[in-house]
Amino acid sequence: MSTSAAIQSTPELPIRLIGKIPVRNLWLLMLYASDLYRQIGTAKIAVEDNPEEIADLVAEILCHQVERRLMRNLSYGYQHKVAVIGRVRGRIDTLYTERHRLMDKGKVCCRFEELTVDTPRNRYVRAALEKLPQLVNNNLGHRCRTLAISLERLGVRKEKPIGYSGKSERFGRHDAEDQKMVAAADLAFSLALPTEFSGQHHLALPDKNKEWLRKLFEKGIAGFYAVALEKSEWRVLAGKQFNWQIVAKTAGIDSILPSMKTDIIIDNKNTGDRLVIDTKFNAVTTSGWHREETLRSGYIYQMYTYLRSQEDDSDPTSLTTSGMLLHPSVDREVDESVMVQGHAIRFCTVNLGETATKIREQLLRLLSDSFKGESHGHV
């Protein structure tokens, strides 16, 4: 599907901000963090340059996938039901049947599994179709509403299933076509979040939103590198856990010793170099005791511990692994480094106030510089 065909122009809107970050760039991070980003192929290149159109692309993909499923029938699932009926089906609820003297009326209460299209997955997709019209152009909004009505007529309820997420789904051979549809629905709900914080154009940043943004920044950076780097040359690992270099321990330490998990590890398969990235969603510097500003000491200790703990004499790469503490910014850029006991540690920012193209260029340049100018593969 070509992006040009999928996306229609939308009217120019005022720039909305969360904190100081344009919502369009939060949408860009959401795209990078999503499973859909790995599936949309060449369409992602054009939409990255125009993040305002991400919602239109997601709506187009979701509508297309729902239309395909409607042509070939929606996926079914089993739903537990309890009903008073005239013939035995499944297992009889003896207590309820006797208490209400149903046998006297020729009825029994039964518990059984019923095949239905009203599954959590299909309700989730319908709820996404109901959500998207507030984000997209009128034509796509009408198409989303029409498809939501079609699902309703087939028996899919409107209520979004509580606690459901496409990321927890397991798709088999019989329902593999649902995967892209559910990934688009996931991203649709993510795109709607910034518009739900408030109706203002410049929004404050409550603590709960800071935590949400921190996780989004981490997943967005990992998702970008996982897709942008050539897999034949690079290996990208997200959320890898390191083991403490323990030589002795007491009996109860395992239950209270915290785990040590990094955000991103990138290996260059050709050169044998490795980079550990830890993302932080706050300012790269803070006020110091004896100077105007200073790097955050706790983060330096954390990165130093990561680098030393992954050292292994049998793995030469681990002895020269570099570290990067990556912070977002909108008003200044920092790129400093220091060499500590054989490990280079960089303190960097990526400017989320810039255009999508420049954000992409910044991320690739930071990676290239960290690998001593080695080629960073095809994007």
Answer whether residue 44 is part of any domain: yes
DSSP-based three-state secondary structure for 59: helix
pLDDT of 52: 84
Answer whether residue 378 is part of any domain: no
Answer whether residue 376 is part of any domain: no
Answer whether residue 6 shows pLDDT above 70: no
Tokens at residue 197, please? 């914080």
Stretch among 2-6, 77-81, 306-310 having the lowest mean pLDDT: 2-6
Q: How many beta carbons lie within 10 A of that of residue 137, not counting itself? A: 18
Answer whether residue 195 is part of any domain: yes
Same domain assignment for residues 93 and 20: no
Same domain assignment for residues 223 and 345: yes
Same domain assignment for residues 211 and 322: yes
Same domain assignment for residues 309 and 191: no
Percentage, residues of the chain above pLDDT 70: 88
Tokens at residue 30, please? 């959401």
Same domain assignment for residues 43 and 138: yes
Q: How many beta carbons lie within 10 A of that of residue 292, not counting itself? A: 7
Same domain assignment for residues 365 and 297: yes
Among 13-17, 106-110, 195-199, top mean pLDDT goes to: 106-110
Answer whether residue 290 shows pLDDT above 80: no
Same domain assignment for residues 250 and 365: yes
Instruction: Compute the C-alpha angle 158/61/130, nearest 5°.
Output: 20
Mean pLDDT across the chain: 85
Last residue of a domain, one of 144, 172, 203: 203
Q: Report the distance separating Cα 62 and Cα 127, nearest Å.
A: 12
Same domain assignment for residues 246 and 224: yes
Tokens at residue 231, please? 């897999």
Same domain assignment for residues 58 and 186: yes
Q: Report the distance separating Cα 79 and Cα 56, nearest Å.
A: 34
Q: What is the pLDDT of residues 36-64, one digit of tens each?
A: 888 876 555 567 778 888 999 899 999 99
Q: Report the distance separating Cα 320 and Cα 367, nearest Å.
A: 16
- The residue range of the domain holding 182 is 3-74+120-203
Same domain assignment for residues 9 and 21: yes
pLDDT of 206: 47
Same domain assignment for residues 154 and 225: no
The torsion defined by the Cα of 192, 197, 201 and 204, in degrees rounded to 10, comes to -140
Same domain assignment for residues 299 and 335: yes
For residue 244, CA distances in Å to 311, 336, 370 come to: 10, 28, 25
Q: What is the pLDDT of residues 208-243, one digit of tens each?
A: 567 888 899 999 999 999 988 999 999 999 988 888
Answer whether residue 375 is part of any domain: no
When pLDDT is cut at 50, 70 and 90, the band that residue 102 belongs to is very high
Answer whether residue 180 is part of any domain: yes
Q: How many domains does the chain have?
A: 3
Answer whether residue 379 is part of any domain: no
Last residue of a domain, one of 203, 224, 255: 203
Answer whether residue 201 shows pLDDT above 70: no
CATH of the domain at 286: 3.40.91
Instruction: Report how far apart the first and last C-alpha atoms of the chain are (Å, whole number).
Output: 19
pLDDT of 287: 81
3-state secondary structure 270-293: CCCCEEEEEECCCCCEECCCCCCC
Strand residue runs (E) in 44-146: 77-85, 91-92, 108-116
Answer whether residue 8 is part of any domain: yes
Last residue of a domain, one of 172, 203, 234: 203
